[in-house]
Amino acid sequence: MSVRRGAEADLERVAALAGEVLPEAGSAASLADTLAGPAAELWVGGRETEEPAIEAFLVALRVGTELEVLWLGVAPGARRVGLATALLESALAGAGSCHLEVSVARPGAQAFYRERGFVEVGRRRAYHPGGDDAIRMQWVVEAAPEG
């Protein structure tokens, strides 16, 4: 498995993957707009370690130690082998907290985030395209035990 920061050259592939698994992430042009912002980060990953194809992507905003995951998607044929976990762990390195919104229509993603220690902290009505509500989830780094 390989995980790395994405670059401009990856945007067409990421947009094609997003079109397949997470259309709300948008086109290559709108992804480029998002990633032009100073807080934005793209992470990409794949199952192979040599000449890896991009099979997973994560777009996040980082402000100080706060991370917001905007989009996370894995190709259907590459799921349940830990790619999303690897991308999220890479993005979370150095973060103190992380928040995101996940659609009520994506129970698999909710299960994934709960498994990673995220808890539900609220809801946003009709947040997603098509009118689905969003569940707001948060992760906070665990304080080291004292002593």
Ligand X SMILES: CC(C)(COP(=O)(O)OP(=O)(O)OC[C@H]1O[C@@H](n2cnc3c(N)ncnc32)[C@H](O)[C@@H]1OP(=O)(O)O)[C@@H](O)C(=O)NCCC(=O)NCCS
Q: Alpha carbon of 44 to those of 28, 66, 126, 127: distances in Å?
A: 14, 20, 29, 26
Binding residue (CB under 6 A) for ligand X from 6, 18, 46, 112:
112
Measured between alpha carbons, how far is 58 from 84 in angstroms, rounded to an integer?
A: 8
Nearer to ligand X, 77 or 147 (CB): 77
Interface mask (CB under 6 A) for ligand X, residues 70-109, using x and -?
Answer: -xxxx----xxxxxxx----------------x---x-xx
Least distance between ligand X and beta carbon 143 (Å): 24
Residue 9's contacts (CB-CB under 8 Å, 6 or more residues apart) are none
Residue 34's contacts (CB-CB under 8 Å, 6 or more residues apart) are 26, 40, 59, 70
Nearer to ligand X, 21 or 53 (CB): 21
Nearest-CB residue for ligand X:
108
User: What is the token pair recorded at 73?
Assistant: 């998607």
Question: Does 125 help bind ligand X (rule: CB under 6 A)?
Answer: no
Least distance between ligand X and beta carbon 30 (Å): 16
DSSP-derived secondary structure letter, 40: E
Give the interface with ligand X as residue ranges (CB under 6 A). 21-22, 71-74, 79-85, 102, 106, 108-109, 111-112, 115
